[in-house]
Structure 1
Amino acid sequence: MANALKIVSLLLSYPSAELQAARDELQAAIAADPLTGRKEKALLLALVEDLCGRDLYDAEERYVLLFDRTRTLSLHLFEHVHGESRDRGQAMVDLAVMYEGQGFDIAAHEMPDYLPLFLEYLSTQSAEEVHNLLGQTLHILSALRTRLQKKGSIYANAFLVLEAIAGTKADRQTLDELLELPEDDPTDLKALDAIWEEEAVTFGGGAGNDACGPDRLRTQLRAHKRPAPQPELGGDL
């Protein structure tokens, strides 16, 4: 399982010459992984072949259009959580503290909720913890897989493997709520800039008041069910 999570983490990262040069190593690691079945191995091998056989600039452009310019396909988990910016920032802090508590260090510029980083962390954890935390994010992973399949993207393979590793199904109602969000146009940069500015994440504030770890993660990943806060009447808007 750890190998599979590390492999998916690499394949969902920004394409690089180093990744393409590692085709043989990736293929060997997939073939040797004892905890993925034949179907999951085939899905991962197909994604490796696509990424490593494609022109690097083409692979990079595709990645940016999919994951960086399409908010509903963002690989930042908390980007799919529609709560207050302060809540999302606190969730980031909590996740970073959880990493630190397990001796998993991240660079200052890395966002804790970036899926490849999250998967790398999970690859160091017990099977029980993997199933626990993957299960809590499963509605997001399933929504991403569904959207990628609609686009005919081979990146959906990675999410099919994650769903198989999780060994359970996403809550249907929560998944449907995510899928109801309108798709973004990755070529409409003006609209995207407005969205990012409106949904900016703020770090800090309130750290240490709540317990960190899986329970807090679950709370934040369900936060989109809460209505957005309304401004107080009679005050400054």
Structure 2
Amino acid sequence: MTPMPSTIPAVVRTRVRAAVRRPARLTPEEAAGRALTLRIASLLLQYPDSELAAARPELTAAVKALPVTPAAEHLAEFTDWFAAEDPEALERHYVEMFDLRRKSSLYLTYYLHGDTRRRGMALLTLNQRYRAAGWSTGGGELPDHLPVVLEFAALAGPGGGEAPLRQHRRGLELIHRALTDADSPYRYLLAALLTLLPPPTEEDRAAVDRLAAEGPPDEEVGLDPYGTYGEGEFAPPGTFVPPVPAAPTRVPPTATSRTEGHR
């Protein structure tokens, strides 16, 4: 977004920026389609255990039934691959992309705050946002895990519900870039999410470039970091330990909660 002239009063500049970043007013049908898109993305970004793999036909059908949007097109590209892949290969690929690569971790506050004290406060604030809306993660995952954030966005709506996604847009951009560099089909899911957010500003693009080159702030405070193995990561291999897997935030009707993690 081109910077506005400094001659425009500050209050006007603030209102214009807010209008640009505020989600457009949606019809009830559009809102329902958007919520379903977010819920499907939340499911597809969870660990592909045997139950989720068994639900692939239903998930593929649900994606095909979505209204035609850029996000739905990206989801369809992903499910074409997801439906055809061997289940064990899906599990291996997921672990490689999200558990063993720090640049494509699904824990969003890491990209904004790194391993600093501010990250702990950000997690607390996010939990408080969920509770204020009358929603609980059930304690199975950290509140910044992307599938959790997506489920909340689907339930609470495009205003306050999607606010955490807008706040962590730069992290989402970095995950998308890392998955694209790794030629992972999961890049389509991140691409779908990015189409639902306001366009990035020049400041956003510059910040993502810096983050990709330098990594987030670093100040060890006892939080378990989330994987750094492979080339092009933020720290040398072996420095960090992958997290213990947790139950998914939501499963399809035919599925049960995840009980066996990838270890």
The match for 2:199 is 168
Residues 99-123 of structure 1: CA deviation (Å, up to 9, x unaligned): 1111111122411110011101110
Cα 1:150–1:49 change in 2 (3 A) is: same
Kept after mapping to 2: 8 A contact 1:15/1:51: no
The match for 1:235 is none
Cα 1:98–1:113 change in 2 (3 A) is: same
- The residue matched to 2:152 in structure 1 has which SS? helix
Letter in 1 for 2:82: L
Work out the number of aligned pairs and report it: 194
Could you tell me how far apart the structure 2 residues matched to 1:132 and 1:91 are?
13
Kept after mapping to 1: 8 A contact 2:71/2:196: no
The match for 1:43 is 74
Could you tell me how far apart the structure 2 residues matched to 1:2 and 1:9 are?
11
Cα 1:134–1:108 change in 2 (3 A) is: closer
Deviation at 1:133, TM superposition (A): 3.1
Residues 196-232 of structure 1: CA deviation (Å, up to 9, x unaligned): 59xxxxxxxxxxxxxxxxxxxxxxxxxxxxxxxxxxx
- The residue matched to 1:154 in structure 2 has which SS? coil
Could you tell me how far apart the structure 1 residues matched to 2:230 and 2:212 are?
17
Kept after mapping to 1: 8 A contact 2:112/2:171: no
Cα 1:52–1:11 change in 2 (3 A) is: same
Q: Kindly report which structure 2 residues correspond to 1:85-164, keeping only aligned pairs within 5 A, or say none.
A: 85-164=116-195
Of 75, 87, 111, which aligns to 1:80? Answer: 111
Structure 2: runs of 5+ lacking an equivalent = 1-33, 216-226, 243-263
Q: Report the RMSD for the aligned CA atoms in angstroms.
A: 2.6
- TM-score, length-scaled by structure 1: 0.73
- The residue matched to 1:116 in structure 2 has which SS? helix
Could you tell me how far apart the structure 2 residues matched to 1:159 and 1:84 are?
23
Letter in 1 for 2:45: L
Structure 1: runs of 5+ lacking an equivalent = 198-237
Deviation at 1:193, TM superposition (A): 4.2
- The residue matched to 1:123 in structure 2 has which SS? helix
Deviation at 1:83, TM superposition (A): 5.1
The match for 2:8 is none
The match for 1:26 is 59
Could you tell me how far apart the structure 1 residues matched to 2:165 and 2:140 are?
24
Cα 1:81–1:195 change in 2 (3 A) is: farther
Could you tell me how far apart the structure 2 residues matched to 1:135 and 1:143 are?
14
Does structure 1 residue 185 correspond to structure 2 residue 229? yes
Flag the structure with higher helix content. 1
- TM-score, length-scaled by structure 2: 0.66
The match for 2:257 is none
